[in-house]
Chains A and B, each alone.
Chain A
Amino acid sequence: MTGTWLRGLLRRRRGTLIATASGIAVAVALLASLGAFLATSKATMTQRAASGVIVDWQVQTAAGADTSAVLEATRRAEGVTSALPVQFATTDGLTATTGGTEQSTGAGVVLGLPADYRTVFPGEIRTLSGSPDGVLVAQQTASNLHVAPGDKVTVARAGLPPVTVTVVGVVDLPYADSLFQKVGAPPQSQPAAPPDNVLLMPATTFASTMGPLSVSRPDLVTTQVHVARTRTLPPDPAEAYISVTAAAHNLEATLAGAGLVGDNLAASLDGARKDSLYSQVLFVFLGLPGAILAGILTAAIAGAGAVRRRREQALLRTRGMSVRQVVRLAAVEALFVGVVGGLVGLAIAATIGRFAFGSTGFGASTSSALSWTVGAFVVGLLIAVIAVLVPTVRDFRESTVAGARARAHRERAPRWMRFGLDIMMLAGAALMFAITSQAGYSLVLAPEGVATISVSYWAFIGPALLWTGIALLAWRIAYLVLGRGRPLVARAIRPLTGNLSSTAAAGLSRQRTIVARAVVLVALAVSFAASTATFNATYKAQAEVDARLTNGADIAVTQSPGSSVGPEAATAIASVPGVIGVEPLQHRFAYVGADLQDLYGVRPATIAAATSLQDAYFQGGTAAELIGRLGAQPDAILVSDETVKDFQLAPGDLIRLRLQDGQTKKFITVPFHYAGIAKEFPTAPHDSFFVANADYIAKATASSAVGAFLVDTGGQDTAAVATALRDKLGAAARVTDIGQTRSAIGSSLTSVDLAGLTRVELGFALVLAAAAGGLVLALGLAERRRTFAIASVLGATGRQLRGLILSEALIVVAGGIIAGAVSGWLLSQMLVTVLTGVFDPPPEELSVPWPYLLTTVLVAALAIGAAALLAAQRSRRPAVEALRGL
């Protein structure tokens, strides 16, 4: 019997079965694709997090411990590929005499490095000028001492006479924070900044110069073992973090107090696992609505044949079949479409994963791949059960055979509508939004000192309530308009239906539940497409802003420290083909009290043309206003929020900064007046810095030296122009283009794989919009083929039939798109606000991808139009079966 029934379904109801299975396939494919997204993004995050670390572990030997034993034990530890000893000595100060003047620094650090250090840890030390072999001085120190390769530096030794060494090169220490960390100390006890005065020596030089200090003052000389570990890590950052941390703990246990492990790799992976939680957040916010929509769509598709199915089942019961037998037949149908749809969905997801993410797997590990595959498949089955089986069981519980055979009932507002569930949900959404959008709200919770991190799922409630509330409100409005607004509907569709408008409006009114549902489906699909696309576009725009903020412009030409190149060098840069404009940007260091901060000197009139200055970078006025103040008042200065708080500044307050004089090289006091707050500035660090008028600084310091030239290429061929600039300028300056910066800052999740997620989601959104519009309408119209056959027999012309069908399509399109646009806009606002954590810097406004949105609307409208015209075409000459059924 079951086989006969299934064969019959396949022969007679093939269209509905295929459509239902397709809906399930879309839901399963979307979920599994998101699994692939999560898998690849997590694996990429781990890879990027690991590749961003040069020295994986810094094993600090305990005072009095046997350094060579620690070194040997470390080398034997599992996963360690290389381990080298590095010595640290504290000096009371460095002194250099250049240009007839003597410069001295405060306390500093001298490092002793083994010969192969730079080979084992490439990138830890970057040569800016001079030779890499010999005594090297850090960039900041070189600036403080005014030394260049070839100059001599005297190193003070506590209790011992100073020694003088010759500097052969100036280096940059990109990982200074971790290099000079206090191993074993909690984050809050770590130094606020790495030391300003650093000298690096070959181990042999160190032994001869600082070695005696280790005898006289062993407390001032320590040894670390720097470790490179294997990069075969679990793909999930959280698992990788646990694996690396456990290995570090194991080593510490082996060393039995002789050494502490500074785990740089785990620290980096810790950030990545936070990002991986954000990817889960994005999955929930951006992916889940699509999967839910696909589920609802499937239920609607299956529901389109519900009347006929009810009648068939009622017939089976009148022929003596028991309820259990009928339910079993429905279960067979559900199982069939669920399994077929699920398998097709997994196949689609594997294909998408292959092309969009470069992975056919659905998880970062075997267990997660299995759980994603099984999970998505089970969701498919669940949708099938909810769409096909549940209505059957409900029918048996709630209706009689005669009732089941009926084709139209008097409309009654659904219970949720009478209780005002939609209004309650929207009020709830507003409340949740108000709570979650408060300043400082964080989605990913990573409490200090706690190993586990988690996502605050409370924030999801706001958008979820908004999404559902708007859908229900759209339903209510469509229901009301079609019911009480019948005359209005009749007038609206008159151009299509002519004198049939009242009859058509009456028909629409009596099936307003079905029409309202179609409107809601289109609205949900449009809303999903709009909010996802807007979020993604906004994210992309902000990622670009971030890249521009970091690099400063399309290309940044950064001068070597201590360089005295003036703004006139812009002419040479401007002569390179492809360069549209060049803006000099001064970069100095200034003391405010004992605090050393970066100072940027800008030309207020032209700075905005070369780089992107967003209002969000400033506080207390717009970008134009605050930069304008620098132009109007030459000694005006913009400072960081932190500085304002630290020094209790009020607008107009005098700030005295100590700047180095260009001629005397001595620090002089220069007065400024506080004019506003700068939170971000191109090329500036995230923490404290100053922005002031370049001319004023040049005059005050007798130097117009430029720190960097911001080069505008109009966004065209930046890589090629950057190469040309490198060729032209040689090693004198560092040239970075925005493309390099984009990939450099792309260590967090969203910039890694959001593009793949975007492609997948936007593709699915289009499919859902087309299906929600076209398929649901087509199936609904197919179910009413009989009605059109009757109308045709009664003398309806092709035009009249077309009018009847198109009027319904018009209402679905117009209602769906209007409700979808409103919902999409509100959701986008909410998503961007709630997900502020993934934006850096936060966006000023939403970026609306109009071409995509117009395409979505067009696709939905075309699908609906095509479905309507096809139905009209078919109803023009009623099918023989339709006539036979009369």
Chain B
Amino acid sequence: MKPRPGATSLVTADSTSHAATSGTLVAMQDVALTYGSGPTAVVAVHGATCQVPIGARLAITGPSGSGKSTLLHLMAGLEHPTAGVVTWPALGEDPLGRPGLVGVVFQGPSLIPTLDIVENVALPLVLAGTTDEDAHELAMHALDTLEIDDLARKLPDELSGGQAQRVAIARAMATRPVLILADEPTGQLDRATGAHVIDVLLAAADLLGAAVVISTHDPAVSDRLTTRWRVRDGLLSTTELSTAHDTLGVPR
């Protein structure tokens, strides 16, 4: 991760000023999400009450199938709760309705296979209304910032898993989000590559001044973050707090 001239310009006055109007990015009140109905219904999350503050470095941990990804999807507004309320006090009603405020990094390959890397990174910007030329420039900038600009003209299927995740991070930061949600971003990577991806993610968040929420069952990842919540069988526990880190991106 190299801070390059102009990199700080990714953080816009608009997003920070908007976030500054309230201290909470995401607030959940008794949120539940149940898939299906009747005897085959699956309760993925229930009774979740929490707040994600501006600048948070938050890990949501728990075993596979405990509801971590669902919780993240709810925070991103990708899924609607079947009970309770999710709000984004610092972001407005629906972050999906205003693309770019929330950046999402997924566990698996989430790049569009028919677009090359720079087009993939530029896509959220174009979707948000940025012109092709500007989006392309900003995308190249994001790739350059993450030192992967040499991948710009490659296709997603020509990348390794670690490279693809770094591109996904570049795409998430290209829109200068105030909240980055990463769902098991190292789940399909080896330990060394995973550590590098987390380095890149946290450094990017630092650069943007964005909050980071990472779902993971890997202690090596969760230990890198200041706050850890735990999910088990759909139940969220926010009591296990730690303030051991005062420097972002540095492991305990």
Binding site for B on A (CB under 8 A): 406-410, 499-500, 502-503, 506-507, 510-511, 787, 790-791, 793-797, 800, 878, 880, 883-886
Chain A CB within 10 Å — which of B69, B78, B113, B114 has the most?
B114
Known: A510-B115, A510-B116. 4 other contacts (CB 8 A): A408-B157, A499-B132, A510-B114, A885-B108
Tell whether A410 pairs with B131 under 8 Å between CB atoms, given A791-B123, A793-B104, A883-B79.
no
Inter-subunit contact A507/B114 (CB<8 Å): yes
Q: What is the size, in residues, of chain B's interface with A at 8 Å between Cβ atoms? A: 37
Chain A CB within 10 Å — which of B35, B98, B111, B123 has the most?
B123
Contacts of B107 in A (CB 8 A): 886
Inter-subunit contact A794/B123 (CB<8 Å): yes
Contacts of B220 in A (CB 8 A): none
Does chain A have a CB within 8 A of B82? no
How many Cβ-Cβ contacts under 8 Å join chain A to chain B?
81
Inter-subunit contact A500/B127 (CB<8 Å): yes
Inter-subunit contact B126/A790 (CB<8 Å): no
- Assembly CA distance A800 to B132 (angstroms): 15
Contacts of A885 in B (CB 8 A): 108
Contacts of A406 in B (CB 8 A): 157
Contacts of A884 in B (CB 8 A): 69
Inter-subunit contact A886/B131 (CB<8 Å): no
30 chain-A/chain-B pairs, Cβ below 8 angstroms: A407-B113, A408-B155, A409-B157, A499-B126, A500-B126, A502-B132, A503-B115, A503-B119, A503-B122, A506-B116, A510-B116, A511-B114, A787-B113, A787-B114, A790-B110, A790-B111, A790-B112, A791-B127, A793-B78, A793-B104, A794-B99, A794-B123, A795-B98, A795-B99, A797-B127, A880-B35, A880-B79, A883-B73, A886-B106, A886-B107
Picked from B106, B112, B183, the residue with its CB within 8 Å of the CB of A791 is B112
Inter-subunit contact B78/A408 (CB<8 Å): no
- Assembly CA distance A719 to B117 (angstroms): 75
Chain A CB within 10 Å — which of B78, B112, B156 has the most?
B112
Inter-subunit contact A886/B119 (CB<8 Å): no
Inter-subunit contact B124/A795 (CB<8 Å): yes
Inter-subunit contact A507/B127 (CB<8 Å): no
Does chain A have a CB within 8 A of B128? yes
Binding site for A on B (CB under 8 A): 35, 69, 73, 76, 78-79, 96, 98-100, 104, 106-108, 110-116, 119, 122-124, 126-132, 155-157, 171, 183
Contacts of A800 in B (CB 8 A): 127
- Assembly CA distance A884 to B122 (angstroms): 23
Contacts of A407 in B (CB 8 A): 113, 156-157
Contacts of A793 in B (CB 8 A): 76, 78, 104, 110
Tell whether A503 pairs with B35 under 8 Å between CB atoms, given A787-B113, A790-B110, A793-B104.
no
Contacts of A510 in B (CB 8 A): 114-116, 155
Inter-subunit contact A507/B112 (CB<8 Å): yes
Closest to B104 in A: A793
Contacts of A503 in B (CB 8 A): 115, 119, 122-123, 126, 132
Tell whether A796 pairs with B127 under 8 Å between CB atoms, given A408-B155, A510-B155.
yes
Picked from B108, B123, B124, B128, the residue with its CB within 8 Å of the CB of A886 is B108
Closest to B116 in A: A506
Picked from B110, B119, B128, the residue with its CB within 8 Å of the CB of A795 is B128
Inter-subunit contact B156/A408 (CB<8 Å): yes
Inter-subunit contact B132/A787 (CB<8 Å): no
Q: Separation in Å of the A874 CB from the closest CB of chain B?
A: 15
- Assembly CA distance A410 to B158 (angstroms): 10
- Assembly CA distance A499 to B157 (angstroms): 26
Contacts of A410 in B (CB 8 A): 155
Contacts of B128 in A (CB 8 A): 795
- Assembly CA distance A878 to B110 (angstroms): 14
Q: Separation in Å of the A877 CB from the closest CB of chain B?
A: 9
Q: Separation in Å of the A175 CB from the closest CB of chain B?
A: 73
Closest to A784 in B: B114
In the A-B complex, the 4 residue pairs with the closest CB atoms: A795-B99, A408-B113, A886-B106, A406-B157
- Assembly CA distance A502 to B136 (angstroms): 11
Q: Separation in Å of the A525 CB from the closest CB of chain B?
A: 26
Closest to A497 in B: B126
- Assembly CA distance A510 to B183 (angstroms): 29
Contacts of A878 in B (CB 8 A): 78
Contacts of A408 in B (CB 8 A): 113-114, 155-157
Q: Separation in Å of the B124 CB from the closest CB of chain A?
A: 4
Q: Separation in Å of the A389 CB from the closest CB of chain B?
A: 25
Contacts of B119 in A (CB 8 A): 503, 506
Closest to A796 in B: B127
Contacts of A794 in B (CB 8 A): 99, 104, 123-124, 127, 171
Contacts of A787 in B (CB 8 A): 112-114
Q: Separation in Å of the A886 CB from the closest CB of chain B?
A: 4
Contacts of B99 in A (CB 8 A): 794-796
Q: Separation in Å of the B112 CB from the closest CB of chain A?
A: 5
Contacts of B116 in A (CB 8 A): 506, 510
